[in-house]
Structure 1
Amino acid sequence: MATQVADSDESTWTTASTHRTSGIEIKQLLQRDGEARSFEFNLVRFGGEDFWSPRHRHNFDQIRIGLEGETNYGPHRKLPARTIGYYPEGTHYGPLSVSGEPSVQAILQFDGASRGGYVTYEHLDTATAELRELGEFRKGFWHPNEGGKAVDGYQASWERATGRTMVYPEPRFDEAVYMHVDAFAWTQTEGSAVQRKHLGSFGERGLRIEMALVPAGESMAVGEPGRSGIAFVLSGRVASGGSEVSRYSAMLAEEDGSVEVTGVAELTELVLITLPKFD
């Protein structure tokens, strides 16, 4: 499939991440399940009195886009609305908590620099259900019935799903990278009314995070040959593939295709993510 378009208005919130803590709901936007090329892009809502997640790390990369409310990611580490966080593989973050009202983020999880692969929720949830027969998930860790050392909840489910031992890559960054999007300046695109912001590029596999400002009636293509690209509607509304796409929706251009988007609202902000090279 060359493209995917996911309108957030057409999906509902469902419970997720039972390996970690209660109080997490998701709306699935985009997913690709295929060994090292797997990724998942969801709207995620954190909240509820029981929500809490311990300080931990992963063997994959994450990009988290703050949309509503504010999530605490540890002492002096917060992700409010209109901030984008890059959480590299091997780098610890947390503990996670929410103060006050639930917070909403768009979260992209995908294969990192070490090529450890990414396991989608579908496989992870199956493994988690199996582990519940053999132990208990509590406060972000799995405790086996026969005793012994508790294991990070995600790690336990990942190892069950893959049949492999988790190897955490050496961290390239001491902390997650937080990008405050309104502090970046727009730059004009030559020959177009569309403006761009370059927020960051990471690693030798070419991960790139940008933004585009699309006026009503103006069009732009998302994607480039040989790379997978995602466009997320941060504000406004666009048309793509003959239908309108609302705020908090996403479009995927696979390596062999592109997505044409046209501004519908007076101004539409897109977050553009070029995924790592999957060769």
Structure 2
Amino acid sequence: MGKASDTDVERVGSMREGKLDQKHLLFGEDGSPNNYDLNMGLTGGGGWRTPRHRHNFDQIRYVIAGTLPYTETEVLEQGWVGYFPESVHYGPQERAEGLRTMVLQCGGASGAGYLSVAQREATNAELAKTGEFKKGLYHYTDENGVTQTKDGSEAIFEHATGGKLEFATPRYTDVIAINPAAYDWFPQGGDGVWEKWLGSFTERDLRIGFVRLDAGAVYQAGQFPSIEILFQISGQVTAGGEKYGPETGYEFLANEGPVPVEAVEPTEFLRAVLHKF
């Protein structure tokens, strides 16, 4: 079991426009198709802007406080969950100051994997020496002396890997915006353990949902055939002999469990089970 609750806050690099502070809770394994990054984001003064773009990896977003725009006219409300599938365009985004979100970025069903934060930020710094990131685009001069622009994330990926960024055929036509309040809770396993599945996606069975524990209830984690990620929304639990509170991230490897997580008081988690490879 991997877990993190007290990590440093970092300012996101200059690839996009505006201010975004991130607190990284958990990282996956570089080079794995299920590499991932679980983090929390806080939009700073002046907001945060991105152009319309897409990624070759998946994203799951949970709105902790505020409203998250994912196009010019559509938003995720507070408490909502969004599934941003690989290869699907979204944006432009104009995030307001004070927006707080949880974001899980992970390799998509195509198996293209996920370029780690450390790799991206190191590449970002290298590219800044030969060009400029402005409003989400990278501006540079090619070998023929001609000024060029490309999406910032595309420029970073291609410089870091030495290959061209390619996108799998999109499995969905749009971001999937989910209102968890419209779903019902069902008992799961032992007394006082409840679950709410929001959906299962792609042929590799990415799953998104919630787990709720009554006081004293024990959730037996890590019993899926792929990595299980929990993000603690509320309450207090004990795991591995230690106590944890809200905004803690937990990683359970495939079939690692059962690993007991016991609620000291009523507790709720967002749960994601990554793609099966």
Partner of 2:260: 260
Task: Report the alpha carbon displacement of residue 190 of structure 1 after superposing the two structures with TM.
Answer: 4.8
Q: C-alpha separation between the residues in 2 aligned to 1:197 and 1:50?
A: 33
Do 1:238 and 1:244's aligned partners in 2 also have CA atoms closer than 8 Å? yes
Partner of 1:52: 49
Partner of 1:5: 3
**CA-to-aligned-CA distance 1:149-182 (integer Å, 9 cap, x gap):** 3110001001111111000222222210111111
Equivalent pairs: percent with the same residue?
Answer: 32
Residue range with higher mean Cα deviation, 231-240 or 186-195: 186-195
Q: C-alpha separation between the residues in 2 aligned to 1:186 and 1:255?
A: 25
Q: C-alpha separation between the residues in 2 aligned to 1:183 and 1:112?
A: 26
1:73 to 61, 70, 73: 70
Partner of 2:187: 188
Residue range with higher mean Cα deviation, 134-143 or 42-51: 42-51
Are 2:86 and 1:89 equivalent residues in the alignment? yes
Partner of 1:171: 170
Partner of 2:40: 43
2:60 to 63, 79, 104: 63
Report the TM-score when normalising by structure 2: 0.93
Task: Report the alpha carbon displacement of residue 12 of structure 1 after superposing the two structures with TM.
Answer: 2.8
Q: C-alpha separation between the residues in 2 aligned to 1:215 and 1:85?
A: 26
Q: Which amino acid aligns with 1:46?
A: T
Task: Report the alpha carbon displacement of residue 260 of structure 1 after superposing the two structures with TM.
Answer: 2.1
**CA-to-aligned-CA distance 1:42-69 (integer Å, 9 cap, x gap):** 1111232152111110001110011011
Are 2:268 and 1:272 equivalent residues in the alignment? no
Partner of 2:105: 109
**Which 4+ residue blocks in structure 1 deviate beyond 4 angstroms?**
none
Change (3 A) 1:189 1:50: closer
Q: How does 1:124-139 map to 2 (within 5 A)?
A: 124-139=120-135
- RMSD (Å) for aligned C-alpha atoms: 1.5
Residue range with higher mean Cα deviation, 118-127 or 162-171: 162-171
Q: Which runs of 5+ in 1 are unaligned?
A: none
Do 2:138 and 2:150's aligned partners in 1 also have CA atoms closer than 8 Å? yes
Q: Which amino acid aligns with 1:94?
A: G
Q: C-alpha separation between the residues in 2 aligned to 1:190 and 1:125?
A: 42
Q: Which runs of 5+ in 2 are unaligned?
A: none
**CA-to-aligned-CA distance 1:14-35 (integer Å, 9 cap, x gap):** 1014222331111010001321
Do 1:61 and 1:87's aligned partners in 2 also have CA atoms closer than 8 Å? yes
Report the TM-score when normalising by structure 1: 0.93
